[in-house]
A and B are shown apart, each in its own frame.
Chain A
């Protein structure tokens, strides 16, 4: 762990960069689940005898008109009962789910429990004794306090039974004889409720019964319709796919590491290497707002509370023109607008961090406020292993949503701070007193080696006028970093950020959507060096100093999404950016084109026939991408290099096919070829001489470190590159059943050095991922993840290159949900690298680690 943290620090210090271009995207729409009008299942006439409750669980696909189009049995076969439930479920009618105000198809689970018939034929209530007492009750759901509709209440007194159906609000009144009564409540999708009551003549007994659901699952409903296929390489993740994947700390953004086309510097370091591009070539944003520091301490969870993130869209290539400033992939977290009457309190505590989220409506403003914050204390665990290193972090989010999904506004403030402390050795002034040990001038203490922080305020609004949707936004921010290279003389970097943008979406016909956007940003970066004004010789020399000051960007983009027929989608777009700082100005023009062709429609039971999800698609894209020169990984306040180095450029092309299969499976295959010309400030490292058993250097490497030249400038080398490969993925999407994916990527990424194509420093040829989430009975969920990445190049003997051993990792996660009166508890255990598999970080440095975490989450 210690070595890995140090490796992470080294990676962080290797440089810093993040793009300055927040792409503008529409505000995330609100999803409303379908509501049932009727959900009654008559007891099957021909059912076999039963002496225990029989539960049948089915998954219903409800189309955009509220009609059940498919019923899939999820529980074990139970002849006689299955048929009754499936037949009845086909006739259920719903108010359809809506997404952004539009009806969409959705999946819901339904469970019917058949109780055994009464043990003896009870005497008719009409012939029984007088019923001078009344039982008045209310049925609410344990944990959520939602009313339980469609329940049957049975009271047994001696040999007699009295039955009443509760109303839609879960309320009932049942006249009963005086004395004891055994109460049973049965309701679809719930466990049987049992209670003993004592009734008194002439009095009414009022009770509230908490009825337990069969399964508490926060991801019970998932949108399956309206997943319009408009990009070539977009992978959208939702629900448990972004919350319960093992080895991710339950963090939505870390799931990207398990997707095809993504490799890693090291298994725990979260910076994605997407299709062989540098970490700084892949952009990360939340609703289009750039995040200058995505992962706490480079290897921890992301800086946004997971509850804010509704969906993660990952573009390994072919990103639309709304995303600019990156020559590699794009990762965009989509948040969800809070509902007007949402009340949520969410508390999460585990071995390395604690956090809370509170959401409450503010009625005078007609808005909903969400406040969240987390504090990470991995140093507490780390202190059991070493006293030379300590880590801590925190983050916060404050969000106010007002208006409606069509005409609304949002204020979103968020920020984070990370601190890494290392044992520093320093000398006090003054001569030591030999008789006083405390006067020894040599001292050691934990001092900050790296502090990174940022703050953002995102103000945005949107308006819908018929076919026109307009949105505007301004983002204001402050970034800071402190870097101390163990000499107790920290250097500080800070930047002010302003990023305005506006966008128009116009849909004149059902077949055409046109988009027009403008963006800009201003960054003002300053540095403060240790006393004396002399910057340290290594980190802040050369290029860094020239990059300080004010930089500007102005951008515009236009795009048309055109469906010339039922089987074609054509998406041409163009983007232009102009960058300037005190060293240079550059302009770029990025044309891009995406084409999809519906090769065939498939008749799948569980997918609406007119859906994009039921078709075989051929897809292709080509586009030009530019970005300003950046350091290798981000540091807030220290990201962009001087523009005098010029812009980096890539030409991305891809060709693929999507094939839907029964039972929600889908297979996708895609090939890609990216030309990278020029690339800039990639690792392409100068090398130390190779140590051999011989008396001297056997083969000197082509480029040695020059101790007299600025350290960073030796990395500032322009080059050409290419990456190409193929990605294969089989995926099953389900919010209630087994979900997951298996993927294989063949990836080759090369750079032209000294006239020859050589593997890129982070090139890994074979990438394999297997992710599966399995819901079990009694509210258990088990997740497994297997990842293999082949080795990356290691320089040996100068010209010769071998690859290290690569790594395999196996992660598991267990989740248990339990309800307790008016809140739900989630207990989880997440183990990263459960088998403690070895990983060769670099030549002669192999580590073994395991990261077990256990925690509880309460949702009120």
Chain B
């Protein structure tokens, strides 16, 4: 078990870029018939060249950012994680599916899923744009008087166009678009790391479900409103191939 514990200690080294290399000590000369020292293969190509090859990639990262609400829509700070599966198409182009999950102020959550074509400008620098699906979950304020629907629409689901009086509760999904600039460094044939900056725009179709149920359909009456946010974030991540 001791050897297992020692070996488990190198798991992190493998995960973060260590490469199987030749043993540091030279082979010993012997004529006793026993097995010689263990050797791993030398690399057949430079790590940076290996990363230019096409194939599957998976990145994990953490991010920090802000979302600025337009009009009276609330602002948020975001802290989250990202999971980025992707395919390197050729030395210049990749396409990623970025999955982001973030905690916002006040117990609110944000999630986004975007498709991001990425251009590798140099071996270190890449730029991409993304378009996809995003949402907010769990925004609630109880110190705000709920806006009321227009006369004659009581008892119906209703969309409030004026965001100067935002809904007190918001859970919903919508669209997001982003631009991303990434600076990366190859750690080994399997692993690279990067930092990235993103600018984004998000439109969320908020829903505020009331306690009232339509007596004939059984469906809840819902207040709706579109919220727009402009945001930016920085992130750090590890990527495997």
Asked if B193 lies at the interface with its beta carbon under 8 angstroms from chain A, I say no
A819 to chain B: closest residue by CB: B20
Asked if A782 lies at the interface with its beta carbon under 8 angstroms from chain B, I say yes
- Encode B155-179 as 1/0 by CB contact (under 8 A) with A: 1000000000000000100000000
Asked if B226 lies at the interface with its beta carbon under 8 angstroms from chain A, I say no
Asked if A307 lies at the interface with its beta carbon under 8 angstroms from chain B, I say no
- Encode A125-142 as 1/0 by CB contact (under 8 A) with B: 000000000001110001
Q: How far is the CB of A799 from chain B (nearest CB, A)?
A: 13
- The A804-839 residues at the B interface (CB cut-off 8 A) are 812, 814, 816, 818-823, 825, 827, 829, 831, 834-836
Question: Contact between A206 and B83 (Cβ–Cβ < 8 Å)?
Answer: no
Question: Which residues of chain B have C-beta atoms less than 8 A from A693's C-beta?
Answer: 155, 212, 215
In the assembled complex, the Cα of A204 lies from the Cα of B58 at a distance in Å of 45
Question: Contact between B36 and A818 (Cβ–Cβ < 8 Å)?
Answer: no
- The A334-349 residues at the B interface (CB cut-off 8 A) are 345, 347
The segment out of A208-216, A362-370, A489-497 that lies at the interface is: A208-216
The segment out of B37-45, B65-73, B229-237 that lies at the interface is: B37-45
A199 to chain B: closest residue by CB: B29
Asked if A737 lies at the interface with its beta carbon under 8 angstroms from chain B, I say no
Asked if A584 lies at the interface with its beta carbon under 8 angstroms from chain B, I say no
Asked if A776 lies at the interface with its beta carbon under 8 angstroms from chain B, I say yes
- Encode B21-63 as 1/0 by CB contact (under 8 A) with A: 0100011111100111111111110000000000110101000
The segment out of B8-16, B122-130, B143-151, B194-202 that lies at the interface is: B8-16
Asked if A192 lies at the interface with its beta carbon under 8 angstroms from chain B, I say yes
- Encode A197-227 as 1/0 by CB contact (under 8 A) with B: 1101001111111111000000000000000
A-B contact count (CB 8 A): 152
Question: Which residues of chain A have C-beta atoms less than 8 A from B101's C-beta?
Answer: 836, 850, 852
Question: Which residues of chain B have C-beta atoms less than 8 A from A852's C-beta?
Answer: 81, 83, 101
Asked if A691 lies at the interface with its beta carbon under 8 angstroms from chain B, I say yes
Is chain B's binding surface mostly helix, strand, loop or mixed? mixed
| A195/B190 contact (C-beta < 8 A), A206-B28, A693-B215, A834-B113 known | no
- Which of A345, A822, A844, A860 has the largest count of B CB atoms less than 10 A from its CB? A844
Question: Which residues of chain B have C-beta atoms less than 8 A from A195's C-beta?
Answer: 22, 39, 41-42
Question: Contact between A212 and B41 (Cβ–Cβ < 8 Å)?
Answer: yes
Question: Contact between A138 and B36 (Cβ–Cβ < 8 Å)?
Answer: yes
Question: Contact between A203 and B85 (Cβ–Cβ < 8 Å)?
Answer: no
Question: Contact between B37 and A848 (Cβ–Cβ < 8 Å)?
Answer: no
Question: Contact between B55 and A207 (Cβ–Cβ < 8 Å)?
Answer: no
- The A649-700 residues at the B interface (CB cut-off 8 A) are 691-694, 698
B54 to chain A: closest residue by CB: A777
- Encode A119-159 as 1/0 by CB contact (under 8 A) with B: 00000000000000000111000100000000000000000
Q: How far is the CB of A172 from chain B (nearest CB, A)?
A: 12
Asked if B241 lies at the interface with its beta carbon under 8 angstroms from chain A, I say yes
Q: How far is the CB of A600 from chain B (nearest CB, A)?
A: 41
- Number of contact residues on A: which range applies? 35 or more
Question: Contact between A856 and B11 (Cβ–Cβ < 8 Å)?
Answer: yes
A812 to chain B: closest residue by CB: B85
Asked if A797 lies at the interface with its beta carbon under 8 angstroms from chain B, I say yes
Asked if B135 lies at the interface with its beta carbon under 8 angstroms from chain A, I say yes
Q: How far is the CB of A821 from chain B (nearest CB, A)?
A: 7
| A831/B41 contact (C-beta < 8 A), A205-B27, A820-B20, A836-B137 known | no
Question: Contact between A208 and B56 (Cβ–Cβ < 8 Å)?
Answer: no
B112 to chain A: closest residue by CB: A836
Asked if A843 lies at the interface with its beta carbon under 8 angstroms from chain B, I say yes
In the assembled complex, the Cα of A191 lies from the Cα of B11 at a distance in Å of 22
Given B60, B133, B155, which contacts A835 in the complex, CB threshold below 8 Å?
A: B133
Given A198, A208, A782, which contacts B26 in the complex, CB threshold below 8 Å?
A: A198
Question: Contact between B83 and A829 (Cβ–Cβ < 8 Å)?
Answer: yes
Question: Which residues of chain A have C-beta atoms less than 8 A from B241's C-beta?
Answer: 778
Given A192, A778, A821, A846, which contacts B38 in the complex, CB threshold below 8 Å?
A: A821
| A137/B36 contact (C-beta < 8 A), A206-B27, A776-B55, A829-B60 known | yes
Asked if A196 lies at the interface with its beta carbon under 8 angstroms from chain B, I say yes
Question: Contact between B7 and A823 (Cβ–Cβ < 8 Å)?
Answer: yes
In the assembled complex, the Cα of A204 lies from the Cα of B30 at a distance in Å of 6
Question: Contact between B41 and A194 (Cβ–Cβ < 8 Å)?
Answer: yes
Question: Contact between A209 and B135 (Cβ–Cβ < 8 Å)?
Answer: no
Q: How far is the CB of A75 from chain B (nearest CB, A)?
A: 14
Question: Contact between B29 and A200 (Cβ–Cβ < 8 Å)?
Answer: yes
Question: Contact between A136 and B137 (Cβ–Cβ < 8 Å)?
Answer: no
Question: Which residues of chain B have C-beta atoms less than 8 A from A408's C-beta?
Answer: none
Asked if B183 lies at the interface with its beta carbon under 8 angstroms from chain A, I say no
B13 to chain A: closest residue by CB: A820
Given B34, B36, B99, B220, which contacts A205 in the complex, CB threshold below 8 Å?
A: B36
B189 to chain A: closest residue by CB: A778
Asked if A193 lies at the interface with its beta carbon under 8 angstroms from chain B, I say yes
Given A208, A212, A812, A844, which contacts B211 in the complex, CB threshold below 8 Å?
A: A844
Question: Contact between B213 and A843 (Cβ–Cβ < 8 Å)?
Answer: yes
In the assembled complex, the Cα of A797 lies from the Cα of B8 at a distance in Å of 61
| A208/B58 contact (C-beta < 8 A), A794-B218, A818-B14, A844-B211 known | no
Question: Contact between B218 and A802 (Cβ–Cβ < 8 Å)?
Answer: yes
Question: Contact between A858 and B7 (Cβ–Cβ < 8 Å)?
Answer: yes
Question: Contact between B35 and A848 (Cβ–Cβ < 8 Å)?
Answer: no
Question: Contact between A209 and B20 (Cβ–Cβ < 8 Å)?
Answer: no
Question: Contact between B44 and A207 (Cβ–Cβ < 8 Å)?
Answer: no
Asked if B4 lies at the interface with its beta carbon under 8 angstroms from chain A, I say yes
Question: Contact between B20 and A142 (Cβ–Cβ < 8 Å)?
Answer: yes
Q: How far is the CB of A217 from chain B (nearest CB, A)?
A: 15
Question: Which residues of chain B have C-beta atoms less than 8 A from A829's C-beta?
Answer: 58, 60, 83
Question: Contact between B35 and A860 (Cβ–Cβ < 8 Å)?
Answer: no
Asked if B119 lies at the interface with its beta carbon under 8 angstroms from chain A, I say no
In the assembled complex, the Cα of A844 lies from the Cα of B208 at a distance in Å of 12
- The B86-119 residues at the A interface (CB cut-off 8 A) are 99, 101, 109, 111, 113
Question: Contact between B240 and A825 (Cβ–Cβ < 8 Å)?
Answer: no
Given A138, A200, A777, A822, which contacts B56 in the complex, CB threshold below 8 Å?
A: A777
Question: Which residues of chain B have C-beta atoms less than 8 A from A794's C-beta?
Answer: 218
In the assembled complex, the Cα of A821 lies from the Cα of B37 at a distance in Å of 12
Asked if A796 lies at the interface with its beta carbon under 8 angstroms from chain B, I say yes
Q: How far is the CB of B102 from chain A (nearest CB, A)?
A: 11
Given B27, B31, B43, B155, which contacts A197 in the complex, CB threshold below 8 Å?
A: B27
Asked if A597 lies at the interface with its beta carbon under 8 angstroms from chain B, I say no
Q: How far is the CB of A206 from chain B (nearest CB, A)?
A: 3
In the assembled complex, the Cα of A780 lies from the Cα of B57 at a distance in Å of 9
In the assembled complex, the Cα of A834 lies from the Cα of B113 at a distance in Å of 9
In the assembled complex, the Cα of A691 lies from the Cα of B36 at a distance in Å of 81
Given A192, A816, A834, A854, which contacts B44 in the complex, CB threshold below 8 Å?
A: A192
| A858/B8 contact (C-beta < 8 A), A827-B240, A850-B101 known | yes
Asked if B181 lies at the interface with its beta carbon under 8 angstroms from chain A, I say no
Question: Contact between B36 and A858 (Cβ–Cβ < 8 Å)?
Answer: no
Question: Which residues of chain B have C-beta atoms less than 8 A from A797's C-beta?
Answer: 215-216, 218
B154 to chain A: closest residue by CB: A693
Question: Contact between B240 and A816 (Cβ–Cβ < 8 Å)?
Answer: yes
Question: Contact between A844 and B213 (Cβ–Cβ < 8 Å)?
Answer: yes
| A347/B44 contact (C-beta < 8 A), A693-B155, A776-B56, A796-B218 known | no
Question: Which residues of chain B have C-beta atoms less than 8 A from A207's C-beta?
Answer: 27, 36-37, 39
Asked if B209 lies at the interface with its beta carbon under 8 angstroms from chain A, I say yes
Q: 10 extra interchain contacts, Cβ-Cβ under 8 A, other than A209-B41, A844-B220, A848-B137?
A: A136-B36, A195-B39, A197-B27, A203-B31, A204-B30, A206-B27, A211-B41, A780-B58, A800-B218, A820-B20
Can you spell out 25 A-B residue pairs with CB atoms less than 8 angstroms apart? A136-B36, A138-B35, A192-B41, A194-B41, A194-B43, A204-B29, A204-B31, A205-B27, A208-B35, A209-B39, A209-B41, A692-B215, A777-B55, A778-B55, A782-B56, A796-B215, A802-B217, A812-B85, A816-B240, A821-B7, A822-B7, A827-B15, A829-B60, A831-B99, A843-B220
Q: Which 4 A-B pairs have the closest CB atoms?
A: A206-B36, A796-B218, A802-B218, A207-B36
Binding site for B on A (CB under 8 A): 136-138, 142, 191-198, 200, 203-212, 345, 347, 691-694, 698, 776-778, 780, 782, 794, 796-797, 800, 802, 812, 814, 816, 818-823, 825, 827, 829, 831, 834-836, 843-844, 846, 848, 850, 852, 854, 856, 858, 860
